[in-house]
Amino acid sequence: MTKQQVLDLYFLDARHKLIELAAFLDRVDRATGKEDFRLPAFRAALTVLDGKKKNKATLVLRAFSDPTIVPIEKAVGKGATGAYSPPRSMRHADKSRPIPARDHSTSSKKNVP
């Protein structure tokens, strides 16, 4: 397809999704309480969209992914949250910006087949 054809087919849809995304971030900004590990992961993934990097979808997916390679000892629950939460021992040393840990009791986990 030509760039013109891609724009004709997908521009309005992409524009719609971008505005939804901006509105989501505004909504989070307006909300009270603490954020958890998902928001920093989301903001990190957003940086991929800016600029001329290729394979942006791959990079965004990687930004949300568990980068480790060793199996975990035991599965606690079945759901996934959409963003990786490093174990306490691996978290950023900068104590001024702690990332709240994953709460395994949260109802935000998605149980999908």
Partner 1 sequence: MKYIEPHAHMVSRTTDDYERMALAGCEAVCEPAFWAGFDRSSADGFHDYFCQLTEHEPKRAAKFGLKHFCWLCINSKEAEDVTLAEEVIALIPEFLDRPNVLGIGEIGLNKNSRNELRVLERQIDLAARFNQLILVHTPHLEDKLKGTRLILDVIKNDGRIRPERVIIDHVEEHTVEMVLDGGLWAGMTLYPETKCTPARAIDMLETYGRERLWLNSACDWGVSDPLAVPKTAREMKKRGHPASAIEQVIFKNPKTFLRQAPNFKLGH
79 phi/psi in degrees, rounded to 5: -80, 170
Decide whether 3 or 30 has the Cβ nearer to partner 1.
3
Binding residue for partner 1, selected from 5, 32, 96, 107, defined by CB under 8 A: 5
Closest to 100 in 3D by CA, of 31, 32, 37: 37
Q: What is the Cα–Cα distance from 47 to 63, expressed in whole angstroms?
A: 10
Binding residue for partner 1, selected from 80, 100, 103, 106, defined by CB under 8 A: 80
Contact, 85 vs 102, CB < 8 A?
A: yes
Decide whether 9 or 46 has the Cβ nearer to partner 1.
9
Binding residues (CB under 8 A) for partner 1: these are 1, 5, 9-10, 55, 57-58, 61-62, 64-69, 71-84, 110-113
